Amino acid sequence: MLRFIKDHNQKGQQAETIALNYLQKQGLTKLQTNFSCKYGEIDVIMHDNEFLVFIEVRYRKQTQFGHPLETINYAKQKKIIKTIQYFLMKYPKYSHMPCRIDAVALNSQTPSGQEQIDWIKNAIQA
């Protein structure tokens, strides 16, 4: 559970691990996590059948100030797209694959105390 972790970076890593496990159970295959370059970072990169999927993971303990997906603003979307372009340039073997940018939102504001997971396919259009 995420709510007992105090360090922001540890929460982010744990949220990414929860999202990765969830997506693997949905049939996606992990390619890489935490790809970073001068433009930004991609949390998780996976295969979903023929698609190369870039996934942004967002976590919020509470939603009173908004849903986690609302934090992916225009500037963040531009950074994600530039990072993906760099990834595809660095690894041309993937450039022929159709790509998709998904988002996974986690929040722990549920009656049971378990994380609520929302997976949005094609959350960002490039």
The confidence score (pLDDT) of residue 32 equals 96
Q: Distance between CA 53 and CA 48 in Å, rounded? A: 7
Q: Which of residues 1 and 122 earns the better pLDDT score? A: 122
Mean pLDDT throughout 112-124? 84
**What does the pLDDT look like over 69-113, one tens digit per residue?**
666 789 999 999 999 999 999 999 999 999 999 999 888 655 566
- When pLDDT is cut at 50, 70 and 90, the band that residue 1 belongs to is very low
**In the predicted model, is pLDDT for residue 65 greater than 80?**
no
Q: What is the β-pairing status of strands 51-60 and 40-48?
A: antiparallel
Q: What percent of the chain has pLDDT over 70?
A: 78
Q: Cite the DSSP H helix spans in 3-117.
A: 8-25, 74-90
Domain edges within the chain: 8-120
Q: What is the pLDDT of residues 30-56, one digit of tens each?
A: 999 999 999 999 999 999 999 999 999
pLDDT of residue 110: 57
Long-range contacts of residues 71-80, Cβ cutoff 8 Å, at least 24 apart:
72/103, 72/123, 72/124, 77/124, 79/39, 79/40, 80/40, 80/42, 80/54, 80/56, 80/124
Give strand pairing partners of 47: 29, 52
Q: Please state which CATH number belongs to domain 8-120.
A: 3.40.1350.10
Residue pair 83/42 in contact (Cβ under 8 Å)? The answer is yes
Distance separating alpha carbons of residues 85 and 39, to the nearest angstrom? 10
pTM (2 d.p.)? 0.84
Half-sphere exposure (Cβ direction) of 60: Cα atoms closer than 13 Å: 15
The pLDDT assigned to 63 comes to: 56
